[in-house]
Structure 1
């Protein structure tokens, strides 16, 4: 409650003194080259579709991913960016833009493709109440409106659906160094639905506060909203430091179970010769996450037999080298995660999913739900390497190899997770089980377009 009061006070304080300034508009981070950063727009000229009041945006993300496990149903397990193995797929097609008029602002980005199903599918909040929120929102990746106050280097007050942890990995793959995100990013939020206040007291600092429905959820799980914020500091264009912190009640029907999460990153560009024909740029990014749930049957970091431990620890590191005036790039990295209680683990898809049936919320989808009860263990690690060709600022061709492992059967094996034949129309034998295995290797080919 104290956190909620502080955030409300911060919101009204910002409104009370953020009078419109008719002097020259100050732009945060102006003059800093951020095109190298993981999770940022790499375009040097992002205004090709800009007019006085509207800046348009078009993105297309198409991929072909080959799993060496060769599941018979072609289903990808444990990913928010991939959905189908051994097929050409449109992961995301985005269309929209930003509107600005005398301080009034809005952004709408539509999303189509497999991500419009893959990302929302773990949101249990849509089954509280009526109106099928999973379908009404799934084709929106961003949709918010607000006002810009010309105070300091800007204050923005926005309401709607906006991106969450954009400090490191972006929701849009065209902005990321890697295609298949490490466990740390893939198991933390991509979007929030609620209220956001962004304040830029200096050119190099951003302070952001949130009051939202919950942890990557369209609706609210219990009576308490989620609260949190972001601090981003760029002392110069070669360094970025940030923290994202969250507190809420995100276990459906368990209002006494509280969740805390802290996501922290450091990005450093330590070499920069943009006109060099050989190595033209080098940088690394590192992220560490810590979080826990406590109350109503779980004990956070201090578990007991009656209240098992339920927490999240993870980290990831990536290194990227650009070549030939930044037209080519090679990335290598990976990460680890441990999540007792499995409260943030992406649930295996298909017949192994314990979520309600989207067509009938009174029924469980799948006959073999993945165990997420208190005390269950999950540990995973991954590594990947990729090579990018970027002939211009609007197109990226990427080939990537990914290896992932878990301490329990989790990834789709050759038998798939749907049925003996791989089709949902096949009657399941009484002794059939989803074929989950502890390891997978895959190769991803992706085309990423943005204008």
Structure 2
């Protein structure tokens, strides 16, 4: 009897243990939220990285290195080899190292950070248009000029991710990326080239779903290292990609960015739509086709100007209306052809990139500066065509032709913008003749060769 009871207890124990194991298996575990926008391949988009994985990846650091080298030739062949009105180009008829970005992303226990350099001509071309560096003490241009991105922050595992970052980060107003490896064209249209490439401040990124990003900004100003007036810059960005082949982006900004004019306020709205309308990877000819459309509207108000002009004519119009359209066709993974262009309307010229040399309207001012007075009109358009050769995920060769025109003399003509000889006074030791003025022309055609390597 005792043996039977013992055997019954052993069997009962085994059954209960087996049931406990089965019950444990059936308890649903919490599935972590998916990475935002990881449901599809968005490498086809203008302004996005086509690389599917990071080559320099590790547990705590994901590295990134970019080498951007270009050669450009203008039909005017300016005597001083200077390019006017571009943040992608600086020197004509010369091989130039435009951008060397070395850095990457740090990540450990939800703490995050990013650091990226900007050696090359862009370290001068981009910061020179930020005149906030002259407000107050210290040389902010030298402090920040070799940094394209530098921020630290924290990540919360809520929704599909929440990030809070502080430092210098990319703005992406105007759709195109600061890194030309990610862009369909090399020379951006006016909408991108004349709107900010960076912000300095704090941003909050929220991903309620894997298809939606909501981002808020509290920043020093519009591409500003420092802050001119008491009001900081504020704005937000929303990106929505309901499908892999489609996305919508809006960026909106308000701030007080005019030097010495605290009552003047700037508003800006930037909006883009992208659609990949054809995708057949097995086709023998064209395998993909897509287009992007971007439209911007903005204005300044106060301090003697109104958005669209006062009825009595005492306050001129101060606005920015621009747009650009690009169309791209892929032939397999190695070749692509892009055509596009855009326009820009900016009375008051408050967002027009300043010419260089003796035509400069930013410090150090030129002897014959390109004016940016209230009421000064600026209307321009551009068109370009680009052919890309991408033998693998780490290099792009670009061949591009771009034509640009403006309603006023703006681009560098044969006489250049520096001096009759093409050299600066630092070399010649003499000033320019009083009768000499920078040679600005209303249009230019430009041929561009570029190689962009990214690891």
TM-score (norm. length: structure 2): 0.91
Q: Aligned-pair distance for 1:31?
A: 2.3
Q: Aligned-pair distance for 1:314?
A: 0.4
Instruction: Report Cα offsets for 1:295-332 as digits up to 9, x if no partner.
Output: 01111113352210000000100000000x22100000
Which residue pairs with 2:8 in the alignment?
Answer: none
Q: Aligned-pair distance for 1:398?
A: 0.5
Q: Aligned-pair distance for 1:22?
A: 8.3
Would the aligned equivalents of 1:109 and 1:141 in 2 still touch at CA under 8 Å?
yes
Q: Aligned-pair distance for 1:280?
A: 0.8
Which residue pairs with 2:436 in the alignment?
Answer: 432
Q: Name the CA distance, whole Å, in 2 between partners of 1:150 and 1:274.
A: 36
Would the aligned equivalents of 2:295 and 2:323 in 1 still touch at CA under 8 Å?
yes
Q: Name the CA distance, whole Å, in 2 between partners of 1:95 and 1:207.
A: 28
Is 1:381 the counterpart of 2:381? The answer is yes
**SS state at 1:415 partner:** coil
Q: Name the CA distance, whole Å, in 2 between partners of 1:207 and 1:176.
A: 23
Q: Aligned-pair distance for 1:368?
A: 0.7
Task: Identify which of 306, 318, 322 aligns with 1:310.
Answer: 318
Task: Identify which of 22, 32, 41 aligns with 1:33.
Answer: 41
TM alignment of 1:342-357, pairs within 5 A: 342-357=349-364
Q: Aligned-pair distance for 1:25?
A: 4.5
Q: Aligned-pair distance for 1:167?
A: 7.4
TM-score (norm. length: structure 1): 0.92
Q: Aligned-pair distance for 1:23?
A: 5.7
TM alignment of 1:268-283, pairs within 5 A: 268-283=275-290
Say if 1:132 and 1:354 are closer, same or farther in 2 by CA, change over 3 A: same
Q: Name the CA distance, whole Å, in 2 between partners of 1:433 and 1:302.
A: 32
Say if 1:86 and 1:236 are closer, same or farther in 2 by CA, change over 3 A: same
Which residue pairs with 1:212 in the alignment?
Answer: 219
Is 1:320 the counterpart of 2:320? The answer is no
Q: Aligned-pair distance for 1:273?
A: 1.5
Would the aligned equivalents of 2:173 and 2:196 in 1 still touch at CA under 8 Å?
no
Is 1:394 the counterpart of 2:405? The answer is no
Instruction: Report Cα offsets for 1:82-117 as digits up to 9, x if no partner.
Output: 000000000001100000001000000011000000
Q: Which has the larger radius of gyration?
A: 2
Unpaired runs of 5+ residues, structure 1, are 1-20, 358-364
Q: Name the CA distance, whole Å, in 2 between partners of 1:238 and 1:49.
A: 28
Is 1:448 the counterpart of 2:452? The answer is yes
Which residue pairs with 2:207 in the alignment?
Answer: 200
Corresponding residue pairs, total: 422
Task: Identify which of 91, 95, 102 aligns with 1:95.
Answer: 102
Task: Identify which of 69, 80, 83 aligns with 1:76.
Answer: 83
Which residue pairs with 1:341 in the alignment?
Answer: 348
Q: Name the CA distance, whole Å, in 1 between partners of 2:123 and 2:30.
A: 42
Say if 1:317 and 1:259 are closer, same or farther in 2 by CA, change over 3 A: same
Q: Name the CA distance, whole Å, in 1 between partners of 2:113 and 2:381.
A: 39
Is 1:234 the counterpart of 2:241? The answer is yes
Would the aligned equivalents of 1:204 and 1:233 in 2 still touch at CA under 8 Å?
yes
Would the aligned equivalents of 2:274 and 2:291 in 1 still touch at CA under 8 Å?
yes
Q: Aligned-pair distance for 1:166?
A: 6.2
Q: Name the CA distance, whole Å, in 2 between partners of 1:311 and 1:76.
A: 26
Would the aligned equivalents of 2:418 and 2:438 in 1 still touch at CA under 8 Å?
yes
**SS state at 2:418 partner:** coil
Which residue pairs with 1:165 in the alignment?
Answer: 172
